[in-house]
Amino acid sequence: MRSIRAAAVGAVTMSLALAASACGGGSSTGGGSDDSPKTLTYWASNQGASIAVDKKVLQPELDKFEKQTGVKVKLEVVPWSDLLNRILTATTSGQGPDVLNIGNTWSASLQATGALLPWNAENFAKIGGKDRFVDSALGSTGASDKDPAAVPLYSMAYALYYNKKMFAEAGISKPPTTWDELVADGRKLSKDGKWGLGAEGSNPSENIHHAFVFARQHGAEFFTADGKADFTNDGVVTAVKQYVDLMAKDKIIAPGNAEYAQNQSVSDFAKGKNAMLLWQSAAANLKSQGLSEDDYGIAPVPVQSGTPGTGDQINSMVAGINLAVFKNTHNTDGATKFVKFMTSDAEQKILNTAYTSIPPVKTAQEDPAFNSPANAVLKDTLAKSAAALPQVADESQFETAVGTAIKELFATAAAGRPVSADTVKSALQKAQQQMPAK
């Protein structure tokens, strides 16, 4: 009898325990609190050449923060391939980090989920005010009619990296300033197994960044003024075709680049397989791959004609990383303090130097450390000829749909099949149909 009772008690207890623990996982919704003021979890994006490099760069700074405030920051560097999914999962479950990095192009999409703490005037006042930040960087922090979903942390811009030695051997005296020149130079450089330009054909985001610039240079937008997808207008079709034609028609990109998605084109450039590369803030990455700064030059991304500027003359997206506070944080106060710390002049100088990016904080940007010739090009581009990707809630879906369409177009080109305006248009049509109905 005793053993039966023991068994019964055990069974009931276990069931209750299981039921209780099952319920325990669900407490998710609701705003932030200050329940755990001594710790923070920080998800950093992978900015350096590897995750180990990032930990080495960030850990000393986090230790400094702990010394100043007594708040311990648990760091996790999340690879780019996982970051957006991790954020979505955290949003759905309500269990996530306190502070996190986001790609600035995701700002509006994540803003729409309501997962991030809005940066209203009151919150901005806690970190020194909105005026501390450069306008172009603020333009990529969410929809224009809403409070920003994040604050700028690192700014980057696209530039044309070129191999000085290969240029000299081909008898090219200066970097190209228009696409026609780039194609002409590229043809001279594409020979003996070497190629003019590198590309990441299977990386949807890279494809989008370039297609966006080409579209703007043709006076076209991917979204109408009221936020509807408009991927098949003539300007966009011409733009996407011009980009894919660099491989399909001009043959200055190696067909093998169509399957690149893990920054192989940067390695190829470092190894001298490609003479040119369109990339954002590549200096740190190139250095880690053994390419000295003297071996390559850096110039603004080409335009159709004339010189870079606003409107049709833009030559880069506003690239960068934003810092956001997760609304479900258990340490709102600490999280805000951490954002203030990371955007302080001193930290901005240290971090942006380590990652060869440009500080989005005005006072930090003026530091002489960011006046090197390479940085001058990036700074100039950001200030004068960069535009933010569409700040619409569907941005993330747009990146995937159109980015994938371009990936398929590259695959077609790589297989040696023709890419006509009609091919491009039908691919974009398919992408547009995947967008949420409006």
Partner 1 sequence: MTTTAPAAADVRKDSPGAAARDPRRPGRIRRIGLPYLLLLPALFLELLVHLVPMVIGIVMSFKELTQFYIRDWGAAPWSGLRNYRMSVDFDAPVGEALLHSFLVTIAFTVLSVGLCWLIGTTAAVYMQETFRGRGLLRALFLVPYALPVYAAVITWVFMFQHDNGLVNHVLHDQLHLTDKPSFWLIGDNSFYALLTVSVWKGWPFAFLIVMAGLQNIPGELYEAAALDGAGRWQQIRRITLPSLRPVNQVLVLVLFLWTFNDFNTPYVLFGKTAPAAADLISVHIYQASFVTWNFGTGSAMSVLLLLFLLVVTGVYLVLTSRGRRTSDV
**Which parts of this chain interact with partner 1 (CB under 8 A)?**
3-4, 6-8, 10-12, 14-15, 18-19, 22, 29, 81, 85, 88, 91-92, 94, 109, 112-115, 201-202, 204, 254-256, 258-259, 261, 327, 393, 396-397, 400-401, 404, 407-408, 410-412, 414-416, 430, 433-434, 436
With contact defined as beta carbons under 8 Å apart, do 370 and 352 qualify?
A: yes
In whole angstroms, the minimum distance from the beta carbon of 144 to partner 1 comes to 18
The upper half-sphere exposure of residue 17, i.e. CA atoms within 13 Å in the direction of its Cβ, equals: 6
Sign (positive or negative) of CA dihedral 328, 333, 337, 343: positive
Q: Is 102 or 314 the residue whose CB approaches partner 1 more closely?
A: 102
Give φ, ψ of 282 to 5 degrees: -90, -5
Residue among 258 and 284 whose Cβ is closer to partner 1: 258
What's the CA gap between 155 and 163, in Å, rounded? 24
Q: What is the spatial distance between Cα 118 and Cα 365, in angstroms, rounded to a whole number?
A: 25
What tokens appear for 239 in the block?
Answer: 């733009």
Least Å distance between CB 30 and partner 1?
A: 9
CB 411, CB 373: distance < 8 Å: no
Residue 37 or 255: the one with the smaller Cβ distance to partner 1 is 255
Residue 241 makes CB contacts below 8 A (sequence gap 6+) with 419, 421, 424
> In angstroms, what is the minimal distance from the CB of 249 to partner 1?
18
CB nearer partner 1, residue 85 or residue 144: 85
Closest separation between CB of residue 257 and partner 1, Å? 9
User: What is the smallest separation between the CB atom of 12 and partner 1, expressed in angstroms?
Assistant: 7
Q: Of 200, 165, 122, 405, nearest to 295 (Cα)?
A: 165
- Shortest separation between residue 191's beta carbon and partner 1, angstroms: 17
Looking at residue 316, what DSSP letter applies?
E
Instruction: Report the C-alpha gap between 299 and 119 in whole angstroms.
Output: 35
Q: Which is nearer to partner 1, 109 or 315 (CB)?
A: 109
Residue nearer to partner 1 on the CB measure, 383 or 435:
435
Residue 316: φ, ψ to 5°: -165, 155
Measured from the CB atom, is 342 or 406 closer to partner 1? Answer: 406
CB 253 within 8 A of CB 198: yes
Residue type, 146: K
* Minimum CB distance to partner 1 smaller for 39 or for 267: 267
Least distance CB 363 / partner 1 (angstroms): 35
Q: Which is nearer to partner 1, 115 or 284 (CB)?
A: 115
Instruction: Return d(Cα 10, Cα 8) in angstroms, integer.
Output: 5
Q: How far is the CB of 113 from partner 1 (least distance, A)?
A: 5
Q: How far is the CB of 427 from partner 1 (least distance, A)?
A: 11
How many DSSP H helices and E strands does the chain contain? 18, 11
